[in-house]
């Protein structure tokens, strides 16, 4: 951590979320002599830098961290800090603690738009607020032109500390998976059957289990690297490009407004799926596909109470205010398949997401929330554009989103609503008479495609399979926006895996020049 802006580095990284952290980690491991600087527009929330806010024990400190993450207009002090608050909320613009909505430009006349489009500004990025789900993509979700994808996914799992069996012993978890398997597993391949959700969590020597944030991805190799610098509250306003090569970044200190130019041999833009293309556009890097193929995952949620289960003796009865993971926290996974094209995340909740009678307090772990995610019908016309004359609250080019749900999308959403009902019926009884709730576009926070990779530079992609921006040497992009396929599963593991490939590509070039 520093407020000293370096004059020159080998690698400048824009953004400190899991993908930016993955670049810093791999480079620290492979090129320990290389100088690396990470610039983050938001503030530091906790120590170590990049930690997950759910690991903050004190509720007031946790709320403070969330407010600090909410950009130019944080939520009020009395706003709930529990991300499960509003789980069944039908609000047209759903906002979650630690995030801030795109204030304007999120929908154009006659279009669906992304009313739920949201971001976070803080050290650790959205990795300080996410649910930690790290499933592997399957079938058509996979990127066919990345032959080493499985090895990269395994490396991503190492960096994120993914545990495939974190909640296997949660009360009723076996029963949940047994019932789901009986209803859904017929005809599925072994690796696509119902199972435990792989989660990014850390098991401690004292028995605690905490959520992985960017702090885990940075790891000790990065924190102990004397050549690594993390600068918070530093807005990169431009990637400097000269002679077809990225040569550095221009940075504005958010504390005093001073502007610094930092030269770099390589620049990695790992902001998010909206702000990464924004920075490239502001820098004059505008390939045809920039900002296009924007996609979200239509999300439908439902909740039931498990039927025919006996109370668990000695269960913790009220864990809902605890920040760390508790025994009732069971998470199961229904993998995507091309035949059943939905990703299911099934969570055993420690409290009901809808009001229940006081005398009807459920046994923790018996309320089950189901979230079904669809793939998007990818369209080049779904895009984020930027304005030459208007600016956002950070002074960057204002965003304007064009986004439509196609007939295929509407059919997919309708099918997912029926699919979630079938899965729910296998588990238990609805909590009330409401239908499954489909969130407004953007609510998943899983935006992809805006700086997508491609096998060749044919105008339909922004970067190569190694995440290097076409026609700009030394410039790399990272994050969910790099994913080129329509995926329904949580995208973080995939985007971290692709970041590993990009970091290795830079490391190979650094090693070659050193030799």
Catalytic residues: 446
Q: Give the DSSP letter string of 70-98.
A: STTSPPPTTS---TTTTTT---SS---TT
Pair 490, 303: CB distance under 8 Å: no
Burial tier of 258 (Cβ tally within 10 Å: 0-12, 13-18, 19+): exposed
Angle, alpha carbons 190-192-198 (nearest 5°): 110
Q: How far apart are the first and last CA of the chain?
A: 30
Report DSSP state, residue 164.
Answer: T
Report the phi/psi class of residue 119: left, alpha or beta, with left for phi > 0 and alpha for psi in -120 to 50: beta
Does residue 48 have a cis peptide bond before it, meaning omega lies within 30 degrees of 0? yes
Structure tokens at 316: 């913790």
SS (H, E, C) 281-322: HHCCCCCCCCCECCECCCEEEEEEEECCCCCCCCCCCCCCCC
Distance, CA of 385 to CA of 291 (rounded, Å): 7
**Tokens 């990818």 belong to which residue?**
378
């Amino acid at each position: 951590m520093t407020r000293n802006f370096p004059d020159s580095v080998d690698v400048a990284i824009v953004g400190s979320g899991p993908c930016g952290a993955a670049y810093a980690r791999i480079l620290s491991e492979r090129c320990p002599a290389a100088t690396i600087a990470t610039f983050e527009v938001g503030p530091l929330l906790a120590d170590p830098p990049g930690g997950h806010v759910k690991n903050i024990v004190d509720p007031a400190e946790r709320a403070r961290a969330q407010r600090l993450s909410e950009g130019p207009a944080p939520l009020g002090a009395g706003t709930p800090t529990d991300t499960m608050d509003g789980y069944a909320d039908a609000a047209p613009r759903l906002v979650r603690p630690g995030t801030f909505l795109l204030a304007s430009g999120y929908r154009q006349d006659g279009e669906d738009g992304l009313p739920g489009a949201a971001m976070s500004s803080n050290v650790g990025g959205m990795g300080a607020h996410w649910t930690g789900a790290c499933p592997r993509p399957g079938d058509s979700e996979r990127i066919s032109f990345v032959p080493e994808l499985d090895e990269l996914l395994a490396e991503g799992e190492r960096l994120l500390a993914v545990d495939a069996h974190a909640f296997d012993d949660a009360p009723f978890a076996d029963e949940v998976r047994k019932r789901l398997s009986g209803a859904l597993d017929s005809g599925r391949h072994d690796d696509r059957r119902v199972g435990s959700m792989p989660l990014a969590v850390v098991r401690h020597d004292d028995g605690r289990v905490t959520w992985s944030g960017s702090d885990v991805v940075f790891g000790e190799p990065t924190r102990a690297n004397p050549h690594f610098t993390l600068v918070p509250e530093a807005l990169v306003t431009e990637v400097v490009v000269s002679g077809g090569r990225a040569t550095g970044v221009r940075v504005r200190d958010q504390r005093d407004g001073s502007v610094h130019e930092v030269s770099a041999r390589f620049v990695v833009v790992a902001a998010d799926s909206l702000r990464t293309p924004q920075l490239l556009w502001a820098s004059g890097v505008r390939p045809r596909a920039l900002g296009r193929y924007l996609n979200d995952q239509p999300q439908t949620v439902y909740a039931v109470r498990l039927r025919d289960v006996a109370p668990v003796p000695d269960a913790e009865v009220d864990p809902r205010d605890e920040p760390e993971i508790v025994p009732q926290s069971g998470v199961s996974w229904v993998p995507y398949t091309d035949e059943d094209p939905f990703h299911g995340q099934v969570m055993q909740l420690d409290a009901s997401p809808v009001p229940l009678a006081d005398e009807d307090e459920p046994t923790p772990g018996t309320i089950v929330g189901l979230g079904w995610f669809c793939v998007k019908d990818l369209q080049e016309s779904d895009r984020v554009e930027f304005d030459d004359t208007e600016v956002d609250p950070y002074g960057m080019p204002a965003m304007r989103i064009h986004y439509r749900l196609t007939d295929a999308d509407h059919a997919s959403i309708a099918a997912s609503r029926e699919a979630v009902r079938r899965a729910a019926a296998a588990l238990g009884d609805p909590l009330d008479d409401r239908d499954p709730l489909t969130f407004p576009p953007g609510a998943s926070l899983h935006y992809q495609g805006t700086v997508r990779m491609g096998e060749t530079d044919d105008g339909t992609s922004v970067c190569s399979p190694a995440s290097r921006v076409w026609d700009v040497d030394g410039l790399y992009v990272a994050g969910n926006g790099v994913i080129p396929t329509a995926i329904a599963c949580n995208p973080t593991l995939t985007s971290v895996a692709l970041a590993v490939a990009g970091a290795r590509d830079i490391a190979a070039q650094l090693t070659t020049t050193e030799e």
